[in-house]
Amino acid sequence: MADPTVYVSAPDDPELRPDEDSESWFVLVNAPRHDPVDGVDWDEPGLAARYADEVLAVLARRGLDVRDRVRWCEVRTPADLARDTGSVGGSIYGSSSNGARAAFLRPANASPVPGLFLVGGSAHPGGGLPS
């Protein structure tokens, strides 16, 4: 992604920091799904590291340059998510929701089986577990 959406979570939780002078960040970045045949092959050697470097450069261009402060970085790509969760292409939000009404085309969270509910990115209301 040339100009990705970047979500940064930096909780003020001492249990997540290695020491008093550190921070622990979770950075979520929009990325194309894993599709070695017709799209992006996230298993290509070096691709994940190059994209992580680009995300840090994007943050720097947006006024948040932390490149000299990174001690440790774990990169999880759509290919990793596909392997670890079984989601097709590593899509964390389920089926594509392009367009103003696309999310409403997803199945409702109540299934035809009594007591069984659908949750997560591919159900409506989507994106997580209902509270």
Does 67 share its domain with 22? yes
Rg of the Cα atoms in the chain:
18
pLDDT of residue 98: 63
pLDDT of residue 63: 96
Does 78 share its domain with 102? no
Q: Domain tally for the chain?
A: 2
Rounded to whole angstroms, the Cα distance separating 97 from 90 reads 15
Does 48 share its domain with 102? no
Does 40 share its domain with 73? yes
- DSSP E strand boundaries for 11-128: 26-29
Does 77 share its domain with 103? no
Does 80 share its domain with 98? no
Q: Is the pLDDT of residue 129 over 50?
A: no
Contact present, 73 and 52 (Cβ < 8 Å) = yes
Kindly state whether residue 18 falls inside one of the protein's structural domains.
Answer: yes
Write the pLDDT tens digit of every residue in 14-39: 999 888 889 999 999 988 889 999 99
pLDDT of residue 57: 96
Kindly state whether residue 1 falls inside one of the protein's structural domains.
Answer: no
If one counts every other C-beta atom within 10 angstroms of the C-beta of residue 82, the result is 19
Specify the amino acid at residue 81: L
Domain region containing 118: 93-131
Does 78 share its domain with 29? yes
Alpha helices in 1-131 (DSSP H): 47-61, 78-85
Which of 127, 123, 31, 130 lies closest to 82 in space, CA to CA?
31
Write the pLDDT tens digit of every residue in 85-117: 888 888 876 666 666 776 666 677 788 899 888
Does 65 share its domain with 113? no
Q: Is the pLDDT of residue 68 over 60?
A: yes
Question: pLDDT class for 131, splitting at 50, 70, 90?
Answer: very low
Question: For the chain, what is the mean pLDDT?
Answer: 85
- Please measure the distance between the N-terminal and C-terminal CA atoms of the chain and give it in whole angstroms: 33
Write the pLDDT tens digit of every residue in 36-62: 999 999 999 999 999 999 999 999 999
Does 72 share its domain with 55? yes
